[in-house]
């Protein structure tokens, strides 16, 4: 009997493959499964830890709220609810005055920067429909705490817009004790 391979050999040459044909390496399969597992893990962590993936930094809206326009009197938000004559009422009146001044200057960008993040689109629509220069609006009375589906401070205003059309209503300011004040809506008086 002859050993080895070649003519007259009875053994087939060794090719390194087992029965059934060549074996494919499984490294690419393991690599794809590992990458998919990492992506799923990152997705779960992003859902559990808000802000990790930058979801709160979306500034693709018409204008992004700017901390420059917000009036902050202390490094930490005031934790007290509004009371008659309380500091939140004074802050709300100052914020409404600043908001109306931006509208009078036809500066909707800075006026909207004082708006609450969750209502910026609604506020934008209101301003487009109701405010048209020249505008002369001023605070016309004391601020008042209002209890509704969200705690707010309403600051009355009056004046003219569109060159003389009378306009009055309130600047409604969100009054969440743990957050800085922000303009949520304007309500127009009939």
Residue 164 is part of a domain; what is its CATH number?
Answer: 3.10.450.50
* Residue 113 maps to a domain: yes
Nearest-angstrom CA–CA distance, 102 and 111: 5
Domain membership of residue 143 as a residue range: 88-189
With 60 as the cut, is the pLDDT of residue 66 above it?
no
Q: Does residue 121 belong to any structural domain of this protein? A: yes
Residue 65 domain flag = no
28 belongs to a structural domain: no
Measured distance CA(176)–CA(51) in Å, rounded: 21
Please indicate whether residue 10 or residue 33 has the higher confidence score (pLDDT): 33
Encode pLDDT of 13-58 as tens digits.
Answer: 555 555 655 666 677 777 778 888 777 777 666 666 554 444 444 4
Is residue 79 in a domain? no
CA-CA distance, 44 to 180, in Å (whole number)?
31
pLDDT digit string (tens) for 89-124?
999 999 999 999 999 999 989 999 999 998 889 888
Contacts of 47 (CB under 8 A, 6+ apart): none
- Looking at the structure of the chain, the number of domains it has is 1
């Amino acid at each position: 009997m002859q050993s080895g391979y070649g003519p007259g050999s009875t053994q087939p040459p060794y090719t390194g493959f087992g029965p059934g044909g060549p074996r494919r390496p499984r490294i690419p399969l393991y690599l794809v499964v590992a990458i998919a597992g990492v992506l799923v893990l990152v997705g779960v962590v992003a859902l559990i830890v808000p802000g990790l993936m930058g979801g709160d930094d979306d500034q693709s809206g018409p204008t992004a709220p700017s901390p420059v326009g917000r009036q902050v009197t202390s490094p930490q938000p005031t934790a007290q609810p509004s009371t008659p004559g309380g500091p939140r009422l004074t802050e709300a009146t100052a914020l409404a005055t600043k908001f109306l001044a931006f509208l009078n200057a036809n500066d909707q960008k800075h006026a909207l920067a004082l708006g609450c993040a969750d209502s910026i689109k609604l506020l934008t629509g209101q301003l487009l429909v109701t405010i048209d220069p020249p505008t002369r609006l001023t605070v016309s009375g004391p601020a008042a705490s209002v209890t509704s589906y969200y705690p707010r401070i309403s600051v009355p205003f009056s004046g003219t817009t569109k060159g003389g059309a009378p306009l009055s209503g309130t600047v409604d300011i969100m009054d969440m004790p743990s957050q800085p004040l922000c303009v949520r809506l304007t309500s127009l008086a009939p």
